[in-house]
Amino acid sequence: MKVGRTHTWNYDKGRWQETKISPEVWRIFYSVKKRRVGKAPAGSGAKVGTGYHWFILAHQNVQKLNADDYSTILSGIKLKIAHKTAGKKSWSAGASQQRKGLISFLKDFIRQLQKQVISLSFEHEDKAYHGEAIPIEESFDGENYTHFYITLNGDYTGIIRALKSGWKMDSNTNPSLVKAIAENLKEHEQS
């Protein structure tokens, strides 16, 4: 699949389990079947039986709705650690290589977080917004960054990305707010 393309999936009713390990750390487990929205083009994609090992680094924003219900948004990135071709017995990388790749990725991620962030400050629909944009290193296209982590007024908002059709965010962010964020980013690029 080409860089910049998107897959959209529907997840069957799954089960998310979380166990508190320490006051701030939880172990999570989620198991479910996912289904492609629409049909894959004939002859495209990996062969049936192909496996993938991903590492997910994400924000989970949760809001309590009542005693038993919460709204949840999960937004972040995933890194392919290894794959197993259909019919093969071994992964593309052994356990040691997978661990080294993950360590390298996490070190790069920490380096990105420690870099100078882009300060955001603007008004939109009579509300003041202050926050920051952190460029996603892997999105640098040789001239500009195309993806940024966005935090506004103390809340993680999501990842904004530049497309040919304009700037987009996957979260339930108001499109006019996305446009205001993008304009603020452009002002920073020009200064």
pLDDT digits (tens, 9 = 90+) for 38-85: 888 888 888 999 999 999 999 998 999 999 999 988 888 999 999 999
Residue 65 has a pLDDT of: 95
- Structural tokens at position 148: 């940024």
Contact, 59 vs 156, CB < 8 A? yes
What pLDDT digit, counting tens, does each position of 136-170 carry? Answer: 988 888 888 899 999 999 988 889 999 888 999 98
> Rounded CA gap, 48 and 45, in Å?
9
pLDDT, tens only, 81-125: 999 999 999 999 999 999 999 999 999 999 888 887 899 999 999
- Helix (H) / strand (E) element for 184: namely helix 175-190
For the chain, the domains span 9-114, 118-190
Q: State residue 172's pLDDT score.
A: 64
What's this model's pTM, rounded to 2 decimal places? Answer: 0.78
Range of weakest confidence among 29-33, 55-59, 159-163, 184-188: 184-188
- Which pairs from 101-104 meet CB under 8 Å and 24+ separation? 102/55
